[in-house]
Amino acid sequence: MPDGIRVEIYDQEYQMRGDLDPGYIEELARTVDGKMRAIAERTHTVDSLRVAVLAALNLADECQQLKAKYEAVAQEADHRVDECARRLDQILNLVA
């Protein structure tokens, strides 16, 4: 993306550069914009820096919750794979 992409977040324009897909960058900007607008509406806060910090905390919380869910699912999958391997070893030992 040599020229970058222009996005608008909370009524401010930003020129974004990087190797990410422009559609993905626009989606990220919409997510941040939506989160900031929802927080501003709920808290009646007009200070954009405060709204941005609260939005960042909210998004970080969502990220941590998803990470915890992912780790729990991954741990359960590992447990099931270990159990399958153990049972397969038992079956193979009976055949041998």
Alpha-carbon separation of residue 82 from 42, 68, 96 (angstroms): 47, 21, 21
Calpha distance 29→34 (Å, rounded): 8
DSSP 96: -
| Domain count for the chain | 1
Q: Residue 25 CB: number of other CB atoms within 10 A? A: 19
Structural domain that includes position 58: 5-95
Specify the range with the lowest mean pLDDT, choosing from 2-6, 34-38, 91-95.
2-6
Calpha distance 60→66 (Å, rounded): 10
Calpha distance 14→24 (Å, rounded): 15
Report residue 1's pLDDT band, with 50, 70 and 90 as the boundaries.
very low
What is the model's pLDDT at position 3? Answer: 75
